[in-house]
Amino acid sequence: MQIIEKLKPDLILLDILMPEMDGFEVCRTLKSQPAYQDIPIIFLTAKTDANDTLKAFEVGGVDYITKPFHHQELLARVHTHLTLRERTLQLARLNQEKNRFLAAASHDLKNPLSNILMLSQLIESGKFNQIDDLKPYLPIIGRSAMKMMEIIDQLLDVNRIESGKQGFEREPMQIQPAIAQVINSFEPTSQQKKIQIELITYAQPLWIESNPQLFSQIFDNLISNALKYSPPGSLITVTVGDNEYQNLVAVQDQGPGFTDEDQRKMFHQFVRLSAIPTGNENSTGLGLSIVKQLTTILDASLALETHAGQGACFTIGFDKYRPDSPPTLEALPGDVR
C-alpha cells in the first residue's frame, strides 16, 4: 500500500494468502479509493477453490490465475488487460473532449444565434416600415453570422485533422508570397481595429517543402489571434528569415502576452486563457491547438517568447528546401513590405 501511494502502477499481480491483509482485503481497499479504482488487478494464487475465484471477481479483480502458472499465458493476460485499460482511458479522454466540445460549441454559438433570432422577431413584428429602418441592424446580423462561421470552421478543422481527412501532400513552395497572401486577407479586420501588420522579409526567395493549405492555416490562426488580442493602434510584425537549417516565420504582437498558467494549457482544445479579446471578438479556444497540431503534421518547429503584459512572439521553423533552379521571387500581393 505504501508503494502504491508513491508510484501508481499500471497493473497489479496480487496473491491472496498474505500476512496482515489478505489479497481480497487489499483489492477491496484499492477499489474503494477513486485514485486507484482503474488499476487492473490480476489474482495470482495457489488457491483453486471456485468460491475463491468468485470472491476475487466480486471484490474487483479482472482475472484469476492459479499456481503453478505458464509464463507465456501470464504475459498474454497481462498484455490483454493493459491494452483494455489503455483503451478504457482513451475512451474516457474522448468522452471528456466530447463534453468540452459540446459545452464550447453551445456557449459560443448561443450569443450570435440570440442576436439573429431577436432581430428576426423584430422584423416579423412589423416594427420596421422601410428598408432604411433595417440598415443599422444589418451589421449586427453580419457579425453574428461571421462569428458562427468562424466557430464552425475551426471545429471542422479540428475534426479533419484528428480524423486524418485533411490533405497532407507537400510540394515546394515559396514562403514570402504565401505569407503576404495571408496578411492581405486580414486587411479589413486590421483597418477596423486600426492595427498595422508589417511584413519584414529578405529580398531573395526562401523555399520550403510543405502543404500550402496547412501552411496558410497555421499563420491564419496566429495572425487572427494577434489581431484579436492586440489593442487598437498597435503593431503586428511578421518576420520571414532563416538560420543555418531552417526558414523561419515569426509573428510578434503587442498584446497582453501569456502568463505562466496560460503557457501550461495554451495548446489544449477548448481552453480559455486569461487574455480578453480587445474588440469583443469570439474565441473558441481552438486556434492555438490547431497551430500545434498542424506544425506537428508538417514536421515544423514551434517556439514562443512571451512575458505577461509585453506581447508574444510565435516562431515557426521549416526545414530548408533548395530546388535546382528556383524561379525568381514572385511579386508580393498587396501593399506590404
Residues 170-205: pLDDT tens digits?
899 999 999 999 999 888 889 889 999 999 998 888
The predicted model gives 249-263 an average pLDDT of 91
User: What gap in Å lies between CA 27 and CA 312, rounded to an integer?
Assistant: 51
C-alpha cell at 116: 439573429
Q: Specify the long-range contacts of residues 66-74, CB closer than 8 Å, at least 24 apart.
A: 69/44, 74/44
Neighbours of 165 (CB within 10 A): 9
92-119 pLDDT, tens per residue?
A: 877 776 666 666 566 556 666 777 777 7
Output the pLDDT for position 337: 35
Could you tell me the CATH superfamily of domain 2-69?
A: Response regulator (3.40.50.2300)
| Under 8 Å between Cβ of 188 and 265 | no
Eight-class DSSP state of 331: P
In sign, the C-alpha dihedral spanning 88, 90, 95, 96 is positive
Compute the distance between CA of residue 12 and CA of residue 81 in angstroms, rounded to an integer: 10
In CATH terms, the fold of domain 171-319 is Heat Shock Protein 90 (3.30.565)
User: What are the φ and ψ backbone dihedral angles of 63, each rounded to 5 degrees?
Assistant: -160, 165
Residues 6+ apart with CB under 8 A from 172: 207, 208, 209, 321, 323
DSSP code string of 270-328: T---S---TT-----S-HHHHHHHHHHHTT-EEEEEE-TTS-EEEEEEEEB---SSPPP
Other Cβ atoms less than 10 A from the Cβ of 146: the count is 13
Backbone angles phi, psi at 225, to 5 degrees: -65, -45
Q: Could you tell me the pLDDT band of residue 213, with boundaries at 50, 70 and 90?
A: confident
pLDDT tens-digit map of 304-319: 999 878 899 999 999 9
Sequence spans of domains, the chain: 2-69, 103-163, 171-319
| Angstrom distance (rounded) from CA 266 to CA 203 | 34
118-147 pLDDT, tens per residue? 777 777 777 776 777 777 777 777 767 776
Q: What is 88-108 written as a DSSP string?
A: HHHHHHHHHHHHHHHHHHHHH
Instruction: Give the orientation angle of helix 138-163 with respect to helix 71-124, to 10 degrees.
Output: 170
